[in-house]
Amino acid sequence: MSQSKRAAGIEKPTRPAGTNGELVIEDYAGVTLATIGKASLLDARDIQALARDLIALVTVRAKRKLVLDFTPVRQLSSQAIGMLLELHKQSKAIDGVVVLCGVNGQIRRLFELTKLDSLIRCYKDDAAALASFGVRVG
């Protein structure tokens, strides 16, 4: 968690059961920030576990405003893109919104190529993504 968020009195990060620290969840005034803790999303089991946890945020915990922070991620597979599409679909089903942040250049180009960026908005960093929901930090 950044110093500015800690200074703002934001809730302590949590890790859903079964993620082995690979997903850090923080709540900001009704917006959920989920930071992926892996540099590589190539392994099918890792992607399935991440998908299960993210989709549970939407379907079980009814999180309607979700920011997914890709800052640590340097590689991902087509299965990870499929996971993002499913997350988007599940979120729309409950009138929710998923946005991404911290997407590096190579992955951003992949999102543009696959047109994922036309479905899910991407922001420079978590502060900009949170601001898109009206949340100001630091």
Element (H, E) at 68: strand 65-69
What are the pLDDT tens digits along the chain (138 aa)? 443 443 343 444 444 433 445 899 999 999 999 999 999 999 999 999 999 999 999 999 999 999 999 999 999 999 999 999 999 999 999 999 999 999 999 999 999 999 999 999 999 999 999 999 999 887
* Whether 46 contacts 18, CB under 8 Å: no
Q: Which CATH class is domain 3-131?
A: alpha beta
* Whether 14 contacts 25, CB under 8 Å: yes
Q: How many CB atoms lie within 10 A of CB 20?
A: 11
For residue 98, what are its two tokens? 């998923």
Confidence (pLDDT) at 22: 81
Domain regions of the chain by residue span? 3-131
